[in-house]
Amino acid sequence: MAENLNDLTTEELGKLFPIIIAEYQPEWEKLYRLEEQLIRGTIGNNNINTIEHIGSTAVPGLPAKPTIDILIGIFNESSIDLLINNLKKIGYQLIPKPENPPPHMMFAKGYTKEGVKGQTFHIHIRYPGDWDEPVFRDYLIRNPEKAMEYGNLKMDLADKYRNDREKYTDNKTDFIKKTMKEARNSKTAVVFGSTGLVGKELVNELLGQSEFVKVKAVARRDLTVSHPKLEIVHLADYAKLMELKDKCYADTYFCCIGTTIKIAGTKEKFRQTDLDIPVQIAQLAESLLIPSMVVISSIGASDHSSNFYLRAKGEMEKSVRESYSGNLKIVRPSLLMG
């Protein structure tokens, strides 16, 4: 981006970069993935809490301005100056937003004084949880008719305000606010351990509740049940759980992870399943600011118990409480048969 492009007036920017709406292109997701790798390699994973493809190019089938919007959630301790300097190295320029000072920041790439050069990207930087874009994106993906309505609105506004980005944006506001209200009233549940005894029953129960419009079942294999509200999230190894962050936004987490010492084979492997994995799930819930979480434990669980099984469950409960600050409910069933 040219050094003095920020000095252009709104009218000059409108003429130089007119609103153009294109049909959805599958390559947009590929372009995002490539840029994500470049960004991670430049600013470091230790400075990134989450990174996601947002905006209309992230919604399959939705017409959009062919600009890839990227949301980056940073940590409270992340260096703002370091982010600005490192992103500048890969062609990004900070776009000042006086009404939203850092850590709210927007960066742009692909714009020059002569017009667009190559692929354009926008980066939006926020602290974790300080965003609505993934909620809006996911709701449009789940509701194709709403996405179509939004696409038609965008094309109408682009024809009307081709050279006026401010009016184009302002006239989308009512639709976005209304849709966000609908999205927040549409709850999603994620069930971990969905193929186990408790998990299978819970999935069936949640699918029958009108409260939840989407039930995501995290599993190593497909479930025997099928339902319009059910989405399978495949995960072969819980060591890679954090790689599923963009698929695990929800209103409530249900952790039904559990095994037996007989099945696990050793006490160490039992602890890996019944203690370590629930804590990883709690950490994921905390990082995504999941509002509530339900964890299945065991009657008699105590980190001071002389019984190995009950002590491990008690240690799990303690570690989950330390890892997750949201609305936590721990369920302690008696002996499970089945």
The CATH number covering residue 149 comes to 3.30.460.10
The tens digit of pLDDT for each residue in 125-138 reads 988 667 788 888 88
Task: Kindly report the pTM of this predicted structure.
Answer: 0.61
What pLDDT, on a 0 to 100 scale, did the predictor assign at position 186?
Answer: 78
Alpha-carbon span 296 to 283, nearest angstrom: 16
In a domain, 312, yes or no: yes
Residues 240 and 111 in one domain: no
Identify the DSSP state of 22: B
What pLDDT, on a 0 to 100 scale, did the predictor assign at position 1?
Answer: 42
Q: Provide the token pair at 242.
A: 């954090």
Q: Let me know: does 281 contact 192? Beta carbons within 8 Å.
A: yes
Of 184, 214, 230, which residue is a domain's last? 184
Q: Let me know: does 4 contact 48? Beta carbons within 8 Å.
A: no
Residues 53 and 132 in one domain: yes
Q: Let me know: does 293 contact 255? Beta carbons within 8 Å.
A: yes
Residue 274: which domain range? Answer: 187-331
Q: CB count, 10 Å around CB of 80?
A: 14
Amino acid at 104: H
Residues 146 and 95 in one domain: yes
Residues 111 and 125 in one domain: yes
Q: CB count, 10 Å around CB of 333?
A: 10
Q: Let me know: does 218 contact 233? Beta carbons within 8 Å.
A: yes
What pLDDT, on a 0 to 100 scale, did the predictor assign at position 205?
Answer: 95
Q: Residue 40: which of 137, 123, 126 has the closest Cα?
A: 123
Q: Residue 103: is the preceding peptide bond cis (ω within 30°)?
A: yes
Residues 158 and 197 in one domain: no
Residues 198 and 265 in one domain: yes
Residues 180 and 194 in one domain: no
- Cβ partners under 8 Å of residue 261, min gap 6: 267, 270, 308, 309
In a domain, 12, yes or no: yes
Amino acid at 276: D
Residues 42 and 103 in one domain: yes
In a domain, 319, yes or no: yes
pLDDT tens track, the chain, 338 positions = 445 677 778 888 888 999 999 999 999 999 999 999 999 999 988 788 778 899 999 999 999 999 999 999 887 778 899 999 999 999 999 998 767 777 789 999 999 888 899 999 999 998 866 778 888 888 898 788 999 999 999 999 999 999 999 999 999 999 999 999 888 777 899 999 999 889 999 999 999 988 788 999 999 888 888 899 999 999 989 999 988 888 898 889 999 999 998 999 999 999 999 999 999 999 999 988 887 899 999 999 999 999 999 999 999 999 999 999 888 999 998 876 55
Q: Let me know: does 179 contact 136? Beta carbons within 8 Å.
A: yes
**In angstroms, how far is CA 41 from the centroid of its own chain?**
20
* 110: phi then psi, degrees, rounded to nearest 5: 105, 5
Residues 138 and 212 in one domain: no
Q: Let me know: does 19 contact 168? Beta carbons within 8 Å.
A: yes
Cα dihedral 258, 264, 267, 272 sign = negative
Alpha-carbon span 124 to 128, nearest angstrom: 12
Residues 300 and 255 in one domain: yes
What pLDDT, on a 0 to 100 scale, did the predictor assign at position 33?
Answer: 93
* 307: phi then psi, degrees, rounded to nearest 5: -85, 125
In a domain, 338, yes or no: no
- Cβ partners under 8 Å of residue 242, min gap 6: 280, 284
Of 184, 213, 246, which residue is a domain's last? 184
Of 159, 184, 209, which residue is a domain's last? 184
Q: Residue 324: which of 297, 292, 276 has the closest Cα?
A: 292
Alpha-carbon span 216 to 325, nearest angstrom: 22
Q: What is the CATH number of the domain that holds 215?
A: 3.40.50.720
- C-alpha count within 13 angstroms, C-beta hemisphere, residue 248: 28
What pLDDT, on a 0 to 100 scale, did the predictor assign at position 128?
Answer: 64
Number of domains, the chain: 2
In a domain, 62, yes or no: yes
Q: Provide the token pair at 303.
A: 């980190």
Q: Let me know: does 253 contact 292? Beta carbons within 8 Å.
A: yes
In a domain, 336, yes or no: no
Residues 113 and 244 in one domain: no
Residues 127 and 139 in one domain: yes
- Sheet (strand 115-126) strand order: 50-54, 67-73, 115-126, 105-112, 93-95
